[in-house]
Amino acid sequence: MFVAIMLTLVTVGSILFHFFSPWWWTEVASNWGNIDDTIILTFWVTGSVFVAICLFSAYCVWKFRYQKNRRADYEPENPKLEWWLTILTALGVAALLAPGLVVWNQYVTVPKDAYEIEVMAQQWYFSYRLPGEDNKLGTSDIMNITDDNPFGINPNDPNGQDDVLIDGDDIHLLIDRPTKVLLRSIDVLHNFYVPQFRAKMDMVPGSVTYYWFTPTRTGYFEILCAEYCGTGHYAMRGWVSVDEQEDYQAWLQEQETFEEMMARNNDNKEIEIVAK
């Protein structure tokens, strides 16, 4: 009886902790309320199963407790029970997967007017590339990566000359603008994760992954690498600032373009040659 009561109390306590827990997710900072709805649905489905199993276990502990004159029955099969378990399990899995597929489709179906940015990961920091005045990102290739061209931008592509480069610094985004994030890695597997955006995706060497979101409120949000990438993984962090138009433009004007970076590198080389 004591064990049955303890199981019941654990079940009730878990339910109360869930509803009154202070460790709930932060306020949504992007348009992905659908992901939160999917998580809540998962809580309801798995929580119902958890409660049912715990209460059933408590009932069995009490109902079939030891009694001196009782003998156990041997029943190796129960077709009716097996059918019920199969049907309920299938319904539970369908309830978990179907909404997730819908949300995933929305997650990777990018609006035509989305603003493209690129995030490049390497051990152990993020770098960013934004389109310039032409609103187009230039092509890039890992074979082009050098100390003078850390993003591997094709120097012969005119669309890349005005690309804005942010090397290992914070990134700023404009509020209420749909943004497509192109993700790539130049060494090992990384993951670009902004918890308040409900957005994360693996960054796979040799390929470009992506997702999109719309920042819905201003603020300063932490970026994390959510995939173990080596000894410095714990320190691979950054910040994204969502700004109003005026603040965003002021920040953007301070950044260096690819053309300006290449000119600066050439000037530095000429100075070194003269010095020698």
Number of CB atoms found within 10 A of residue 224's CB: 16
165, with CB counted inside 10 A (0-12, 13-18, 19+), is buried
Do 29 and 120 sit in the same domain of this protein?
A: no
Number of domains in the chain: 2
| Domain of residue 103, residue span | 2-66+76-108
Q: Which helix (H) or strand (E) holds 209?
A: strand 209-213
Decide: 189 and 148 in contact? Cβ < 8 Å.
no
Residue 231 within a domain: yes
- Is 164 found in the same domain as 90? no
Residue 243 placed within a domain: yes
Cα 198 from Cα 30, distance rounded (Å): 7
CA-to-CA distance for 144 and 154, rounded, in angstroms? 7
99 plus 138 within the same structural domain: no
Asked if the structure places residue 16 within a domain, the reply is: yes
**Residue 227 resides in a domain:** yes
Question: In what helix (H) or strand (E) does residue 61 lie, and over which residues does it extend?
Answer: helix 33-63
Residues 84 and 220 in one domain: no
126 and 222 fall within a common domain:
yes
Strands 219-225 and 199-203: unpaired
Residues 96, 123 share a domain: no
Does residue 223 share a domain with residue 94? no
**pLDDT for 228:** 93
| Host H or E run for residue 39 | helix 33-63
Say yes or no: 137 and 216 in one domain: yes
Contact in structure between 129 and 163 (CB atoms under 8 Å): yes
- How high is the pLDDT of residue 212? 93
- Rounded CA gap, 83 and 85, in Å? 5
Tell me: do 271 and 144 sit in the same domain: yes
Q: Write down the mean pLDDT value for the chain.
A: 87
pLDDT in the model for residue 270: 58
Residues 128 and 192 occupy one common structural domain: yes
| CATH number, position 179 | 2.60.40.420
pLDDT at 108: 87
142 and 252 share one domain: yes
Classify residue 71: in a domain, yes or no.
Answer: no
Q: How far apart are CA 253 and CA 251, in angstroms?
A: 6
Contact 177/214 with Cβ under 8 angstroms? yes
Q: Considering the entire predicted model, what is its pTM?
A: 0.77
Cβ(11)–Cβ(69) under 8 Å?
A: no
Indicate if 147 and 214 belong to the same structural domain: yes
- Segments of the chain with pLDDT less than 70: 169, 267-276
pLDDT at 75: 79
